């Protein structure tokens, strides 16, 4: 009888522990979702350009989004914060990390130049740098990441930026400085938006193309019913040299 009672009590304790673990996981998930919802509609897009890659591609290794544009396109801080790092990295190139009051860290990589330094206070919409192709970048673009709590080398806390910036597909144009303020919408676009909008967005819908072995700009342009010059302009290429697995923005045939 005593053994039966002991086994019964152990079973109850195990069930209680499992329940607490389940509730703890649910609470953590709910807190994460709530945090994202609070921010959504407050952050602004960091650059004018075309979405050239999204979160989770490259077998899950791509922990951010890429916005392709023209060299020296202004890069804006998505929210108020403090510059956590501003330096040159072999992979990120010129990169800026900003810690925000919302307990997020945002990363702005491959910049042509950086306009801010460590511990500098930043306001939403401040120009923190200019778009470039430094580090391990195959074309002119901004690589943007968002991390909850902190940035880690293993990207453990990486979050899909679309959760807080809004959904944007590859080939879609995004405008820097779009933010919700009460019942009004502020369009604080960078000064180059009008020029870029006419020269890039006006050419129609775009899509991502991954260069294959044997591809040339000429063969890709012919396949996409466009010109080599247009492909070079869309990707800020200064030569005809391309390499396998390079990502290009090309006109969509659909």
pLDDT at 237 over 50: yes
204-251 is classed CATH 3.10.350.10 = yes
What are the residues whose beta carbons fall under 8 Å from the beta carbon of 190, sequence distance 6 or more?
47, 48, 73, 74, 76, 127, 176, 177
How confident is the model at residue 16, as a pLDDT? 54
| Residue 107 Cα to chain centre, angstroms | 8
- Are the C-beta atoms of 166 and 185 separated by less than 8 Å? no
Q: Please, where in the chain does CATH 3.10.350.10 lie?
A: 204-251
How confident is the model at residue 60, as a pLDDT? 75
Which residues lie across from 184 on neighbouring strands?
Answer: 181
In angstroms, the CA 62 to CA 58 distance is 6
pLDDT in tens, 146-172: 998 888 888 888 888 888 888 888 888
pLDDT at 229 over 90: no
Distances (CA, A) of 56 to 61, 102, 105, 159, 183: 6, 23, 18, 10, 33
- The three-point CA angle 228-234-238 to 5° equals 65
Least confident of 88-97, 199-208, 221-230: 199-208
- Are the C-beta atoms of 48 and 190 separated by less than 8 Å? yes
Arithmetic mean of pLDDT, 112-132: 95
Q: How confident is the model at residue 21 (pLDDT cuts 50, 70, 90)?
A: very low
pLDDT in tens, 173-207: 888 887 533 332 333 333 334 444 444 444 467 78
Report the CATH number of the 49-195 domain. Answer: 2.70.70.10
How confident is the model at residue 36, as a pLDDT? 39
Q: Please, where in the chain does CATH 2.70.70.10 lie?
A: 49-195
Q: Which two tokens stand for residue 252?
A: 């969509």
Global pTM?
Answer: 0.60
Which residues lie across from 129 on neighbouring strands?
Answer: 75, 114
pLDDT in tens, 125-153: 999 999 999 998 888 999 999 998 888 88
In angstroms, the CA 178 to CA 174 distance is 9
User: Nearest 10 degrees: CA dihedral of 106, 245, 218, 93?
Assistant: 40
């Amino acid at each position: 009888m005593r053994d039966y009672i002991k086994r019964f009590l152990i079973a109850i304790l195990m069930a209680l522990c499992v329940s607490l673990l389940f509730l703890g996981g649910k609470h953590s998930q709910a807190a994460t979702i709530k945090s994202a919802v609070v921010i959504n509609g407050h952050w602004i897009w960091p650059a004018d350009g075309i979405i050239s890659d999204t979160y989770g591609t490259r077998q899950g290794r791509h922990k951010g989004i890429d916005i392709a544009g023209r060299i020296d396109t202004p890069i804006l801080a998505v929210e108020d914060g403090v510059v956590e790092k501003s330096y040159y990295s072999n992979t990120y190139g010129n990169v800026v990390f900003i810690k925000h009051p919302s307990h997020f860290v945002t990363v702005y990589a491959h910049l042509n130049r950086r306009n801010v330094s460590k511990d500098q206070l930043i306001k939403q919409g401040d120009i923190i740098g200019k778009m470039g192709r430094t580090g391990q970048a195959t074309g002119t673009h901004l690589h943007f990441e968002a991390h909850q709590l902190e940035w880690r080398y293993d990207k453990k806390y990486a979050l899909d930026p679309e959760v807080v910036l809004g959904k944007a597909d590859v080939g879609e144009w995004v405008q820097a400085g779009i933010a919700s303020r009460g019942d009004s919408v502020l369009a604080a676009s960078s000064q180059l938006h009008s020029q870029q909008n006419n020269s890039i967005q006006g050419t129609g819908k775009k899509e991502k193309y991954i260069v294959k072995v044997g591809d040339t700009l000429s063969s890709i342009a012919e396949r996409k019913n466009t010109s080599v010059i247009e492909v070079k302009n869309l990707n800020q290429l200064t030569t005809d040299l391309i390499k396998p697995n390079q990502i290009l923005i090309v006109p969509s045939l659909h």
